[in-house]
Amino acid sequence: MTKYYTEEHEWIAVEGKVATLGITDHAQAQLGDVVFVEVPTVGRKVKKGEETAVVESVKAASEVYSPVTGTVVAANEPLASNPITVNEDAEGAGWFCRIEMSDPAELEVLMDEAAYKAFVEGQ
């Protein structure tokens, strides 16, 4: 499994053609208490850069963008009734959906963990 990061603070973990999408631990800390999550429906086709999930804290709403093009093959439905999971385990149990990628070359522009860490520290 290889993990990639975006400048918009999403992470994806890739195994074969399937990428699991979430927001980073840094992002959840910035958001504060998460009170609402909307995950995409299974079967939905998403394009790179498209709004794929919604995460809302007490204060604000944020859209989550998919860094890859493909089809949603799984969604983390329990988040709807337990949104605080995103705070507790953003890069584990707080995942939003799994996407079967149609263009794995899109991964090439994404950051690895070290690059993301440097990016966050530079902000």
Query: What is the Cα 23 distance to its own chain's centre?
Result: 4
Q: Is 60 in the site for another protein (CB under 8 A)?
A: yes
The residue (of 14 and 23) whose beta carbon lies closer to another protein is 23
Q: Is 59 in the site for another protein (CB under 8 A)?
A: yes
Site for another protein in 7-46 (CB under 8 A): 8-10, 23, 27, 30-33, 35-36, 38
d(CA 82, CA 19): 22
Q: Is 85 in the site for another protein (CB under 8 A)?
A: no
* Alpha-carbon separation of residue 71 from 45, 74, 93, 98, 101 (angstroms): 4, 9, 21, 8, 7
The count of chain residues that interact with another protein, using the rule CB under 8 A, is 26
Q: Is 5 in the site for another protein (CB under 8 A)?
A: no
